[in-house]
Amino acid sequence: MKNLKGKRILITGGAGFLGSHLCEKLLSHGHDVLCADNFFTGRKSNIAHLMDAPFFEVIRHDVCFPLYVEVDEIYNLACPASPVHYQTDPVQTVKTAVLGAINMLGLAKRLKIRILQASTSEVYGCPETHPQPEAYWGHVNPIGIRSCYDEGKRCAETLFFDYHRQHGLGIKVARIFNTYGPRMHPNDGRVISNFITQALLNMDMTIYGDGMQTRSFCYVDDLINGIVALMDSQDDITGPVNLGNPREVTMLTLAQTIKDLAGSKSRIVFKKRPADDPMRRRPDITMAREKLGWAPTATLEQGLKFTILYFEQFINKNGKHAALDEKDGIKPAVSSVHAGDEYMRPLASRLR
Q: Name the site residues for ligand NAD (rule: CB under 6 A).
A: 12-13, 15-19, 37-42, 62-64, 77-81, 85, 96, 100, 118, 120, 176, 178-179
* Residue 19 interacts with which of ligand NAD, ligand UDP, none, CB < 5 to 8 Å by class: ligand NAD
* Residue 118 interacts with which of ligand NAD, ligand UDP, none, CB < 5 to 8 Å by class: ligand NAD
Q: Within a 13 Å sphere around the CA of 177, how many CA atoms are in the beta-carbon half?
A: 29
Q: Which span sits near ligand UDP by CB under 6 A: 35-43, 54-62, 189-197, 317-325?
A: 189-197
Site string for ligand UDP, 261-290 (x = CB under 6 A): ------------xx--x-------------
Check residue 191 for interaction with ligand UDP (CB under 6 A).
yes
* Contact of 221 with 281, CB cutoff 8 Å: no
> How far apart (Å, rounded) are the C-alpha atoms in residues 59 and 34?
8
Q: Which of residues 168-187 bind ligand UDP (CB under 6 A)?
A: 178
Amino acid at 229: A
Enclosing H/E stretch for 191:
helix 191-200
Q: Which of residues 319-348 bind ligand UDP (CB under 6 A)?
A: none
Site string for ligand UDP, 207-226 (x = CB under 6 A): xx----x-x-----------
* Residue 38 interacts with which of ligand NAD, ligand UDP, none, CB < 5 to 8 Å by class: ligand NAD
Of 16, 19, 42, 83, which one interacts with ligand UDP (CB under 6 A)? 83
* Contact of 187 with 345, CB cutoff 8 Å: no
* Residue 152 interacts with which of ligand NAD, ligand UDP, none, CB < 5 to 8 Å by class: none
Check residue 194 for interaction with ligand UDP (CB under 6 A).
yes
Supply the minimum distance, in Å, between the C-beta of residue 328 and ligand NAD: 13
Supply the minimum distance, in Å, between the C-beta of residue 317 and ligand NAD: 27
Q: Within a 13 Å sphere around the CA of 284, how many CA atoms are in the beta-carbon half?
A: 13
Q: Which of residues 3-22 bind ligand UDP (CB under 6 A)?
A: none
Supply the minimum distance, in Å, between the C-beta of residue 339 and ligand UDP: 14
Residues that bind ligand UDP (rule: CB under 6 A) add up to a total of 15
Query: Any bridge partners for residue 249, and if so which?
Result: 215
Query: Which one of the listed residues 75, 149, 163, 219 is annotated catalytic?
Result: 149
Query: Any bridge partners for residue 342, and if so which?
Result: none
Selection from 154, 289, 163 nearest residue 230 by Cα: 289
* Contact of 115 with 67, CB cutoff 8 Å: no
φ, ψ of residue 270 in degrees (nearest 5): -115, 130
* Residue 251 interacts with which of ligand NAD, ligand UDP, none, CB < 5 to 8 Å by class: ligand UDP
Selection from 219, 181, 221 nearest residue 25 by Cα: 221
CA distances 69 to 65, 99, 107, 147, Å, are 13, 17, 8, 32
Q: Is 219 an active-site residue?
A: no
- State which residue, 185 or 338, has the beta carbon closest to ligand NAD: 185
> How far apart (Å, rounded) are the C-alpha atoms in residues 42 and 148?
19
Per DSSP, helices labelled H in 4-112 are 17-28, 44-47, 83-86, 90-111
> How far apart (Å, rounded) are the C-alpha atoms in residues 13 and 18?
8
Check residue 40 for interaction with ligand UDP (CB under 6 A).
no
Selection from 35, 177, 164 nearest residue 108 by Cα: 164
Q: Which residues contribute to the site for ligand UDP (CB under 6 A)?
A: 82-83, 178, 190-191, 194, 206-208, 213, 215, 251, 273-274, 277
Q: Which are the catalytic amino acids?
A: 149
